[in-house]
Amino acid sequence: MKPTLTTSSRDDKTRFRVEIKHAVAIGPGKADVLEGIAETGSIAETGRRLGMSYQKIWSLVADMNADFVEPLVTKQRGGASGGGAKLTPTGEHVLKIYREIENDAQRAIAKRLPELVSLIRPDAGREPR
């Protein structure tokens, strides 16, 4: 397991990504997809909210469904009652665990990150080396 923590002093937002077994990962993008589907019941609406195409959202969902022991999202095709998507109980659990990891990481780095950021040159990363 390889956790990756990304932070930006520009927006004070920390992004946390967990990579497992070299390819399986859940990070802020996939978590946002799961959250969007849970809130809207729609892959298309989730795509609109996140500024992604339906195909991109469905591709992320398909990857997650293949990588976990059970699918995280189920999809129902349109018809008389309309289509939709919803999180499975496993999908709800994965999202909850990820958000808890994210919150734990945020609290853990809050103590030391300002000190580290204060030691970085303001123009670092902007100049060619």
Q: How far apart are CA 25 and CA 56, in angstroms?
A: 16
Q: How far apart are CA 112 and CA 116, in angstroms?
A: 6
- Is 45 part of any domain? yes
The total of structural domains in the chain comes to: 1
- Is 126 part of any domain? no
pLDDT single digits (tens) 18-48:
777 766 788 899 999 999 999 999 999 999 9
pLDDT at 32: 96
- Cα–Cα distances in angstroms (integers) from residue 122 to residues 9, 10, 125, in the given order: 10, 11, 9
- Specify the DSSP class assigned to residue 127: S
- Specify the DSSP class assigned to residue 106: H
| Domain range enclosing 50 | 2-115
Regarding pTM above 0.85, the answer is no
- Is 46 part of any domain? yes
- Is 69 part of any domain? yes
